[in-house]
Amino acid sequence: MAGGSGTRFWPASRQSRPKQLLPLSGGQPMIQAAVERAAAHCPPEQIWIVTNEAQRAAIQALMPEFDAAQVITEPEARDTAACVGLAVATIAARDPSATLAILPADHLIAPIAEFRRMLARGAEIATDDETLVTFGVPPTFPATGYGYIALGAPLDDAEPRAFTADGFREKPDQATAEQFVNEGRYWWNSGIVVFSVRAMLNQMQRHCPTLSAATDEMLRAKADGDDDALASAFRNAPKVSIDYAVMEHADKLSVIECTANWDDVGDFPALARVLDADDRDNHCSLHDGATAELLESHGNVIFAEGARAVTMFGVDGLVVAAVGDAVMVCPKERADELKKLVEHLKARGREDLL
C-alpha cells in the first residue's frame, strides 16, 4: 500500500512525493526498500503496488525496473478498506486461490531474513482459508500514536510466536498506554496482514456487506477488463480502514509476533530512533549534497535535501526540515501536529507548497 500523503513530513513530503518516496533512513526511498523486502519472499511477478494517479509516475521514475502493469492505481483516496478490496479483486481475477500479504510501503523493517520468516509463518497459518493473520510488535515504550492488539491464547509452540487475537484497541491516552505495556498482553498493531482471497472475501461478506459488494463488482470489472466499471465499483466501497471494516470483527484472527526490528517512522522525531546521534543527541538525515553545522545545540532533528547548509546555534529540541522551496521549524513535541500547518497552507491557497 503506497497511497498515503504523509503530511507529518511536510515539506519533505508533498502530494506528488509522499512519505513512502522519501529516503528517511539509509538513503533509500521507503517504497524501494519495501519492494526489496517483498522480493525476499515473492518472485517479482507476484509483487504489486497500490497507489494513486498523482504518485504513479513518481514511483515508476524511481523504480523503472518495476513492471508498470503491476502498479494498481486507485481512482481516488478512500482509505485502506477500498485499497485492500481493489488489491484482492485485481489478484483474485488472476488467481482466486492466492494468499496475500498486505504491506504498508512506509515502514522500516529489518533484517529481511527475519521479516521473511514472519511472512512464511503468516502464510502457513492462513492456509486454512478462514484465518486472517496480523502482526503485532511487542511495545518498547507506552506509545499513544499506535493502535494495540490484545493477545489471546497461544496457537501452538512454533516460532515466531502466534496467538489468537482478543480484539483491537484504538490509540490510547498516556495512562492507558502505560497500562497496556505493564500488562504485557498488548502489542502494537503493525498494519501488516496476511490472508487467503477466500478468507478475506468471506469476512467482508459477513462483516462489511458494502465493501463485499464493491469488491465483487471490482472483481467482475477486472475479469471483463472494464476500467470504468472498476472505478465506479471502487467508489462504492466505504471510506474506512480495513481494520474498522473487517479485521476488528473477524471470526478467526491470529496475531504473530513481529520479531524483526519495526518502526513506522510516523513523524520527524521518529528519525531519532533509526538514525545515529552526534555527541549532543542531534539526529541528521542529509541528502543530495545537504550539510549541517550545529553549535551548542542539543536534541534536534534535521532533514535536508539539496546543496544547502543547515546551521543551528544555541537551540534545543527542534525539528528543521529544509527541502526544495520550503523550510519548516517546529518544536519536537509538536511535530505530530504538522497536519495543522498543511491545512493552514491549503486554506491560504498555497497549493504551490503542497
Query: Would you state the pLDDT for residue 41?
Result: 87
d(CA 142, CA 182): 9
List Cα–Cα distances, 191 to 101, 139, 264, 266, 271, in angstroms.
11, 14, 9, 13, 19
In sequence order, the β-bridge partners of residue 309 are: 291
Relative to beta strand 253-257, strand 162-169 is: antiparallel
Is 337 within 8 Å of 319 (Cβ atoms)? no
**Read out DSSP for 5-69?**
--GGGTTTSBTTB-GGGS--BTTB-HHHHHHHHHHTTS-GGG--EEEEHHHHHHHHHH-TTS-GG
Rounded Cα distance, 149 and 152, in Å: 10
For residue 53, the model assigns a pLDDT of 87
Tell me the CB-side half-sphere exposure of residue 55, using CA atoms within 13 A: 28
pLDDT in the model for residue 78: 92
**CATH topology for 7-263?**
Spore Coat Polysaccharide Biosynthesis Protein SpsA; Chain A (3.90.550)
Please state whether beta strands 326-331 and 318-323 pair in parallel, antiparallel, or not at all (unpaired). antiparallel
pLDDT the model gives residue 28: 86
Alpha carbon separation from 274 to 14, 109, 157, 283 (Å, rounded): 22, 11, 32, 9
pLDDT digits (tens, 9 = 90+) for 196-236: 999 999 999 999 999 999 999 999 999 999 999 999 999 99
Q: What is the value of pTM for the model shown?
A: 0.90
Q: And the C-alpha cell for 253?
A: 484472527
Length, in residues, of the chain: 354
State the pLDDT at residue 7: 87
Angstrom distance (rounded) from CA 72 to CA 145 = 29
Q: Where are the domains of the chain?
A: 7-263, 268-353
> Which residues pair with residue 305 across a beta bridge?
287
Kindly provide the residue ranges of all beta strands, DSSP E only, lying in 98-147, ordered along the sequence.
99-102, 108-110, 132-137
C-alpha cell, 169: 484497541
Which pLDDT value is given to residue 3?
84
List per-residue pLDDT tens for the chain, 354 residues long: 998 777 899 999 998 888 999 998 777 899 999 999 999 889 999 999 999 988 898 999 999 999 999 999 999 999 999 999 999 999 999 999 999 999 999 999 999 999 999 999 999 999 999 999 999 999 999 998 899 999 999 999 999 999 999 999 988 999 999 999 999 999 999 999 999 999 999 999 999 999 999 999 999 999 999 999 999 999 999 999 999 999 999 999 999 999 999 998 889 999 999 899 999 999 999 999 999 999 999 999 999 999 999 999 999 999 999 999 999 999 999 999 999 999 999 999 999 999
Mode of pairing for the β-strands spanning 318-323 and 132-137 = unpaired
- Give CA–CA dist 205/80, Å, rounded: 17
